[in-house]
């Protein structure tokens, strides 16, 4: 049986978060899958708004290009806002999944409604927009923000983890939902333990994306190149993105 190489792109520059997510991804991936965990050398240390997403997209597209050149078979954008998702789908030959969409797809298969627990309040609007874009808006009861920045998940104090747990417990008892989605890649390592403690699905998008991407690879289905996700037309790009198109994919 064919082996797959999946590129896990952490769009921020945090090496610690990349490792947290890579560990989760490797725990979930089947034995026939190899995980390449990467993050950009330059960019933003964490993604907490639309500006941060724009910065991150630059790194994501460069990693997509380099990954494709290295022969990876598919890509994961491991930030809960799914930044640059459609641009990455245009650029890549292999399938591309965001961790937010992956978590939402999985939640909708095991519960009639779910809540999301995320980091800063300013990211809530990003989750809302994705829920609308993907069609899961009516299935989401609430998006809760613990009001701590993303990197607090890596500060070693455990405070952020404690708040995530509290918000999940509250959501379980007040939101009338059957599942909870962890709204940040940096929470990937909490899903198993919280699922066990709460006795309900607490879903991490990194694991969800790894296994859904395997699904697409097993099906032999990749981003459609018929229509609006076709490869970008190369019209003579200049500047930092130019390298993305200099190895024609089609």
Site residues (CB under 8 A) for its own copies, limited to 176-235: 176-179, 192, 195, 198-201, 203, 207-208, 211-212, 214-216, 218-230, 232-233, 235
Name the minimum Å distance from CB 74 to its own copies. Answer: 11
Longest dimension (CA), the chain: 55
Give the binding range for its own copies (CB under 8 A) out of 15-23, 120-128, 152-160, 181-189. Answer: 120-128
Distance between CA 56 and CA 29 in Å, rounded?
25
Those residues whose C-beta lies under 8 Å from the C-beta of residue 157, and which sit 6 or more positions away, are none
106 binds its own copies (CB under 8 A): yes
Question: What string of DSSP letters covers 118-158?
Answer: ESSGGGHHHHHHHHHHHT-GGGEEEEEE-SS-GGGGGSSS-
Site residues for its own copies, 32-71, by CB under 8 A, read: 32, 40-46, 48-55, 57-59, 61
DSSP classification of residue 96:
E
240 binds its own copies (CB under 8 A): yes
Residue among 68, 82, 101, 189 that touches its own copies (CB under 8 A): 101
Q: 115: burial class by Cβ within 10 Å (0-12, 13-18, 19+)?
A: buried
Residue among 6, 9, 91, 182 that touches its own copies (CB under 8 A): 91
138 binds its own copies (CB under 8 A): yes
Residue among 238, 246, 248, 250 that touches its own copies (CB under 8 A): 238
Q: Is the Cβ–Cβ distance between 132 and 196 less than 8 Å? A: no
């Amino acid at each position: 049986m064919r082996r797959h190489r999946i590129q896990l792109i952490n769009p921020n520059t945090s090496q610690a978060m990349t490792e947290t997510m890579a560990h989760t991804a490797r725990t979930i991936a089947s034995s026939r899958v190899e995980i390449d965990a990467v993050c950009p050398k330059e960019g933003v240390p964490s993604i907490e708004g639309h500006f941060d997403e724009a910065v991150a997209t630059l790194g994501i597209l460069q990693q997509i290009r380099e990954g494709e050149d290295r022969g990876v078979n598919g890509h994961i954008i491991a930030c809960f806002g799914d930044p640059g998702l459609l641009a990455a789908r245009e650029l890549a030959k292999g399938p591309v999944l965001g961790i937010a969409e992956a978590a939402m797809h999985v939640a909708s298969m095991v519960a009639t409604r779910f809540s999301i627990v995320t980091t800063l309040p300013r990211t809530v609007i990003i989750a809302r927009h994705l829920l609308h874009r993907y069609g899961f808006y009516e299935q989401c009861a609430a998006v809760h923000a613990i009001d701590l920045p993303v990197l607090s998940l890596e500060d070693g104090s455990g405070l952020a983890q404690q708040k995530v747990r509290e918000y999940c417990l509250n959501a379980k008892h007040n939101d009338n939902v059957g599942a909870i989605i962890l709204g940040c890649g940096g929470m990937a390592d909490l899903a198993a333990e919280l699922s066990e403690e709460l006795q309900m699905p607490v879903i991490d998008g990194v694991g969800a994306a790894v296994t859904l991407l395997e699904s697409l690879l097993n099906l032999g289905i990749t981003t459609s190149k018929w229509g609006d996700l076709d490869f970008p037309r190369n019209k003579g790009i200049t500047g930092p993105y130019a390298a993305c198109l200099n190895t024609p994919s089609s």
